[in-house]
A and B are shown apart, each in its own frame.
Chain A
């Protein structure tokens, strides 16, 4: 008996334990590996996806809770060939070092901009405080999110 899941506008049926964290279903069943494991305890933000408009840590969301919700992962951010303004801004600002934390940061920023199209500096920083970056790319990540916000 499968569980129905809608990710990036596409419905799929997944056959596994309903307590399985959404993260592993995304990565291993749907092969959407852009959402990444960082800590498994919701503390680093590497696995952030947008669920019904809110940024959530997919390592902390059981499949049973995700079922029936609208889920967007980093792979669903662009529309076809058209990159999302956040993705374009991150390229323009070269806002990456290793990029491992990047998917989660993009998704936290997306949730912020969808809810608050004209965020203040404090809004941006607060929205990203649940996302850790170890390479120290913070300065240009902030610049990229600001740029994406003002481009809207």
Chain B
């Protein structure tokens, strides 16, 4: 990013699509400022960072800046909030908008104060001339101020001029959250609101044969029973009445089940039909001549659930043919597109308003439950209907992060240097969000497939770019003279899958970084030194060196049979944050991660504590995935229905975490939320190997797996 004048073609995509400044920003007579963004708050503190960016560029108090809820009625469509791209994309757009707004205010002030623009200074929303005369933003900002297009000519603040970016601004949403204020869509209460629940099929393709709707309708409080093909929902006055009707519906409905699920081992993927996609190929014949020995290994990860603490929820209301939907979707415009397809209505017949839900780590049930609410609201015009999934619905029906298998093969020369690297990965696609596909496909909203006139769901498409889906981080960042990286794209999706935090990077980095450790051992090298020897990228080396120093890693250090430490490294997407992690484990029959050190380079740090918070969270969640998590299923049904079957990391099991932040204020900001998944998994596996020589190649590293590996 240039700090000195940006040409229009260099502007962020959001600004090219919506060039008018008043689409993004509004000044109010009371001095407050509203920011309109298409990027939603999903628990990552994003809107605080946006307020911080705008306040910094405008030179106003951050407390004056409000971020408007994202709403299809007025918010720009900036795509889905995902992939840790929000600061990079949405934040950069807002910096430009705020800089242009400040420029427009300075122009007006120059005329008012009879001074030239360059003589003026700005502090706290007040512009001063050298003579001491001043005028405030409030006085200058009229409705027409921002009624114009972005020019792209206004320079962004230089690094030294920034006051807020790079500091920590306290989260704006925190006071409401610690006092229990109604901030989530789950908390929305509208006059006359009814409560709905959906009686889902017992397995993916089960068809509803019969249900005694009259018996359900006769239950206390029940206002309607909605049946459309295999979609069955109940609406009641009170929430517990809806739940009782749901429980009864589950007992009395009869279903034809026909789902056949694969073996509960990711290796079933190896026997599926697949399409071979070559991600990268590099040849160096003379290097290959030096090959002295070959090492191979195979790694896997299971299906992993998003498992939000608050089950998916939406409220919908039908008034005069128009639907209003309150949703925690990551893409309200995209969701509106899918709802319109299912309902067969025009663009202005559906409005989606974003409200926060529980933490979101990819494509969960948020969009699905919005369709559920709309289908129920259609039956009771004028009455809002709130639908919240039950815990078992959430586990059984959310789209999981796909299972993956990665086979690696490397050839080493006599010095133990890698001269040839082969990566073969097997996976489904990882993205099946609303509006991701053709106009007919509405795989992003579950119930569409259950209707009497169903929309056939289709599988997620093969990756379009080197860093998307299963191919994310499949290409190693190391310098290997010969490389062949292949993705075996499996189209058939016996389990419903879509985007989960970090997509394929989790399994790919786990495999690559575990294998680098195995190769270091084979070549008699220290794992830190082995990586540095194969890596010339400066910023990559810097995070590895930083975590080595922070953790006090000693070259060649070995565990004592019970305790060990291991390293993991990646640059997320090979384009976002650089992270290096050292994990310490204690091993008896079960594995306990006791401590994690991390070094992270996210380029320009917008919110210091925001980055640390995201890093800590990414690390703890990654520990949970690696040690404990796998979706269970038998031949026909998903068997993971509650927390008992899907334990996640508890407070007693939480490691100490220490983060070293490398701030590069002159580099563009890079996403951090998802960067840790793979490096942490590998660091744990490497620490276990370091402790006692046990090599774990299949996640999760449960007690059973450890005992199996010991046997």
A98 to B479, CA, bound (A): 39
- At the interface with chain A, which of B183-191, B198-206, B288-296? B183-191
Closest to A134 in B: B309
Interface flag for A74 (CB, 8 Å): yes
A75 to B600, CA, bound (A): 38
- Size band of the A side of the interface? 35 or more
Chain B residues positioned under 8 Å from A96 (CB to CB): 171, 173-174, 177-178
Q: Across the interface, do A136 and B616 meet the contact criterion of CB distance under 8 Å?
A: yes
Interface flag for A50 (CB, 8 Å): no
Closest to A136 in B: B620
Interface flag for B688 (CB, 8 Å): no
Chain B residues positioned under 8 Å from A41 (CB to CB): 391, 642-643
Q: Across the interface, do B174 and A100 meet the contact criterion of CB distance under 8 Å?
A: no
Interface flag for B17 (CB, 8 Å): no
Chain A residues positioned under 8 Å from B171 (CB to CB): 94, 96
Q: Across the interface, do B238 and A16 meet the contact criterion of CB distance under 8 Å?
A: yes
A133 to B624, CA, bound (A): 11
- At the interface with chain A, which of B41-49, B546-554, B564-572? B41-49
Interface flag for A58 (CB, 8 Å): no
Interface flag for B338 (CB, 8 Å): no
Chain A residues positioned under 8 Å from B644 (CB to CB): 43
Interface 0/1 of A105-134, CB less than 8 Å to B: 010000000000000001011101101111
Chain A residues positioned under 8 Å from B391 (CB to CB): 38-41, 43-44
A40 to B657, CA, bound (A): 32
Q: Across the interface, do A97 and B617 meet the contact criterion of CB distance under 8 Å?
A: yes
Chain B residues positioned under 8 Å from A135 (CB to CB): 43, 359, 617, 621
Interface flag for B545 (CB, 8 Å): no
Chain A residues positioned under 8 Å from B613 (CB to CB): 94, 97, 137, 140
A142 to B653, CA, bound (A): 12
Interface flag for B666 (CB, 8 Å): no
Q: Across the interface, do A91 and B175 meet the contact criterion of CB distance under 8 Å?
A: yes
> Using a Cβ cutoff of 8 Å, how many contacts connect chains A and B?
180
Interface 0/1 of A16-46, CB less than 8 Å to B: 1100110010011001111111111101101
Q: Across the interface, do A99 and B177 meet the contact criterion of CB distance under 8 Å?
A: yes
- Size band of the B side of the interface? 35 or more
Q: Across the interface, do B651 and A142 meet the contact criterion of CB distance under 8 Å?
A: yes
- Shortest C-beta distance, B400 to chain A (Å), equals 15
Which residue of A20, A39, A77, A101 contacts B642 across the interface (Cβ within 8 Å)?
Answer: A39
Interface 0/1 of B293-323, CB less than 8 Å to A: 0000000000000011111000000000000
Q: Across the interface, do A44 and B643 meet the contact criterion of CB distance under 8 Å?
A: yes
Interface flag for B277 (CB, 8 Å): no
Among B234-255, those with CB < 8 Å from A are 238-240, 243
Which residue of B175, B220, B309 contacts A38 across the interface (Cβ within 8 Å)?
Answer: B309
Q: Across the interface, do A36 and B186 meet the contact criterion of CB distance under 8 Å?
A: yes
Which residue of A38, A101, A103, A134 contacts B180 across the interface (Cβ within 8 Å)?
Answer: A103
Given contacts A132-B643, A134-B359, A137-B613, contact A142 B654 (CB under 8 A): yes
Which residue of A24, A28, A99, A106 contacts B183 across the interface (Cβ within 8 Å)?
Answer: A99
Interface 0/1 of B643-687, CB less than 8 Å to A: 110001111101011000000000000000000000000000000
Given A91-B175, A98-B309, output 7 extra A-B contacts at Cβ < 8 Å: A31-B189, A96-B174, A128-B651, A129-B652, A134-B358, A137-B613, A142-B651
* Interchain Cβ contacts under 8 Å between A and B, 29 examples: A16-B238, A17-B240, A24-B238, A28-B238, A34-B180, A38-B309, A38-B391, A39-B643, A44-B643, A77-B179, A87-B178, A94-B168, A94-B174, A97-B614, A98-B309, A98-B360, A100-B308, A100-B358, A102-B178, A122-B652, A125-B652, A125-B654, A126-B652, A128-B651, A132-B650, A134-B309, A137-B616, A140-B616, A142-B651
